[in-house]
Each structure stands twice: as structure tokens, then as C-alpha cells.
Amino acid sequence: MFSIPKPYLIFVGEGLEALDVKTGQGLVEWRPEWCSGQYRLTESAYDLGLVDMIPSAAKAAGLATMVIGGATFGGRLTQAWRAAVVEAIEAGLNVASGMHDRLNADPGLAKLAKERGVSLFDVRGLPENYAPNVGNGRRRAGKRLLTVGTDCAVGKKFTALCIERDMRKMGLAATFRATGQTGVLISGGGIAIDAVVADFLAGVVETLSPDAEPDHWDIIEGQGALHHPAYGAVSLGLLHGSQPDAFVVCHEAGRTALIGYPEVTTPTIEECVMLNVTNARRMNSNVHCIGVSLNCAALTPQERELALAELEESTGLPVVDPLFGTDRLIEAMVSARPC
């Protein structure tokens, strides 16, 4: 769908936390061979472990595209970031962005890019010339797994990418389906659905995961969370359009409140399973939860083992830390009786 010239200069901005550079981190982790430098606006900005470069040096070193690797609140292009984009264009780099504020919608940036002969890639929203339809609810051939979550940023994309990788290692047919800008940048396909007009959301997801062979699995990247005050609508459109046979609940160990919403507690795994099954079963009455993917990044090894064992005990479901493989989820997924 998109064909973005490589290698990449990852634009970090001034964010201090890993979460501020989610897209950059995903690219470094899943496509390290494409990431040749980072552009940080301040010394204290998060370090992705790449060589620091300013755009002109990146161009001189043969890099092709500056990818916006950071995130601002609401996906807005701030003044400082816009200046960095101008700097990259002036240096002769293409720029790729998953922000809500589209680079191509900024007349000044579009004009400058044209003058310098570089391209601006907006990977959020629908590709050009894609005419969306409303959902039809028709059951499609093949199997589908969706990664759902107790919050944003708990590992839904990561878990889906791990499952695809691990299934392929086992010789199983699996395709990762990206639904967010980072996933689109990593996989080179899919659609960042959160920028789709709500009326067309389920319909777009239906086309994202078309009919397939009976034993092929689409591993669909989840977004948001059904109970999330801001993003519940995106999650429901995704759940309906995916009509999943199976889902994994992704959770971060120790997270007790939603990120950015300190007064909103995270649901229990059981609540999350119930809410997803309740909403999904009208599209696929056989939907079931096959397990939990627990993000243990904040835990010591001992704490991790304890957390996994406790959650497995309390939920009765397979619980894995995806960093150490997702085979137990895959076994639960493929061994479930066909219905």
C-alpha cells in the first residue's frame, strides 16, 4: 500500500518516556534493518539506541526518509515538530507520519516538499482512492484472532506480531493485519483505523481481513479498549468488523489506572473478557478468549513468574509474557474445536 523509501531517520522529538516514542520503538524492534539514525530535539529526549543525526547529516549519510517516531497528545503537529519537518524537507528527506494532523494537509509543507522533490507520507487514515463502505456483517472464510486490551499501550500490536512470528515458525499460516500507524509502518500494509470516519469503521475492518483458506489465521492488531472513555468506539468497530473466532487479552502487570486517565481504573481480565464476548458474539457466536498476554516490562524476573502464575490461577486461562514466546496461546488457539 505505502512504499516508503528506506533507510529511516527516526524523529524522536523531545519526549522523555518510551511511551512518547512508541512508533520509533516499534520500528527499531521489528525492523531494525531499516532504522539508521535518530533525531532528538533535546539531549534529555528518549534514546532509541540509534546514532544521533540532524536531517542534513542523515541525508549526507544516505538516509532517505524521516519517520515521525514520537507521539503528541491528540496526534497534533506542534510548532517545534513542524519546524523539524521543514528542516528534513529542506535537507532533502522524505517525511512519513502517522499523526492526525496530516502533513499533506499543511499547504506550506506540501509546497516545500514539491519544490524539494521529496514525498510526504501520511499513513493514518484511508489510502487515497479507497472508497469505504459500511459494514455488511457477512461471515468470511478463514480464522481470525484479535488482540484486545485492558488499556491502550499494553502490548496489543506486539502480541499480534509475536503470534504471527511464532505461528510461522511452527509452519502455520498467519498474516499480521495492521490497524495502527506503527503497525502499518512495520508491516507495509493495513490501515490506521482510528482516523476512519466512524460510520465506515467496521466496513473498513472487514476489507482489511478478507476471505482466506479455512485454516489460515489473520492476526489482527487491536486498538484501544472497549471500556476506554475515548477509544471505545474504535475498539467496537474493530471487534465487529473482525468477527474474531478467538481473542487474547493484553494487559500490563501492575497497571491499575488507564494511561492519561488516573481516575479510571483498569478492568479485571474477567471484566475485559466478558465485555468483549458480550459485544462480539452477535457477529460470531463461537468467539472465545484463548488466553492472556501479560506485559511484564516493569517487573523483576521473580515478580514476573509470580504474576504469570497468579493470573493463570485466577483466570484459568493460559497467561504468557510474549517476550518469551506465545506458543501456549497458539496451541490454545489452533486446538480449539472448529465450530
Sites of contact with a copy of itself (CB under 8 A): 74-75, 100, 133-137, 193-199, 201-203, 226-227, 229-234, 236-237, 240, 261, 263-264, 267, 274-275, 278-279, 282-283
- CB of 38 or CB of 235, closer to a copy of itself: 235
- CB of 196 or CB of 308, closer to a copy of itself: 196
Write down the least CB distance from residue 203 to a copy of itself, Å. Answer: 6
- CB of 127 or CB of 229, closer to a copy of itself: 229
Q: Which amino acid is at 51?
A: V
- CB of 225 or CB of 307, closer to a copy of itself: 225
Write down the least CB distance from residue 202 to a copy of itself, Å. Answer: 5
- CB of 57 or CB of 264, closer to a copy of itself: 264
Q: Which amino acid is at 89?
A: I
- CB of 48 or CB of 196, closer to a copy of itself: 196
Q: Is 260 left (phi over 0), alpha (psi -120 to 50) or beta?
A: left
Please answer whether residues 221 and 229 qualify as being in contact, where contact means their C-beta atoms are separated by less than 8 angstroms: no
Write down the least CB distance from residue 200 to a copy of itself, Å. Answer: 8
User: What is the rounded distance in angstroms from the CA atom of residue 188 to the CA atom of residue 99?
Assistant: 17
Please answer whether residues 181 and 69 qualify as being in contact, where contact means their C-beta atoms are separated by less than 8 angstroms: no
- Grid cell at residue 94: 522524505
- Grid cell at residue 167: 505461528
- DSSP H or E run through 264: strand 261-265
- CB of 1 or CB of 61, closer to a copy of itself: 1
Write down the least CB distance from residue 161 to a copy of itself, Å. Answer: 22
What's CA 99's distance to the chain center, in Å? 13
Residue with cell 522523555: 16
Say whether the peptide bond before residue 7 is cis (omega within 30 degrees of 0). Answer: yes
3-state SS class at 248: strand
- DSSP H or E run through 247: strand 246-252
User: What is the rounded distance in angstroms from the CA atom of residue 257 to the CA atom of residue 247?
Assistant: 22
Write down the least CB distance from residue 109 to a copy of itself, Å. Answer: 18
Please answer whether residues 95 and 88 qualify as being in contact, where contact means their C-beta atoms are separated by less than 8 angstroms: yes
- CB of 196 or CB of 329, closer to a copy of itself: 196
User: What is the rounded distance in angstroms from the CA atom of residue 120 to the CA atom of residue 185?
Assistant: 14
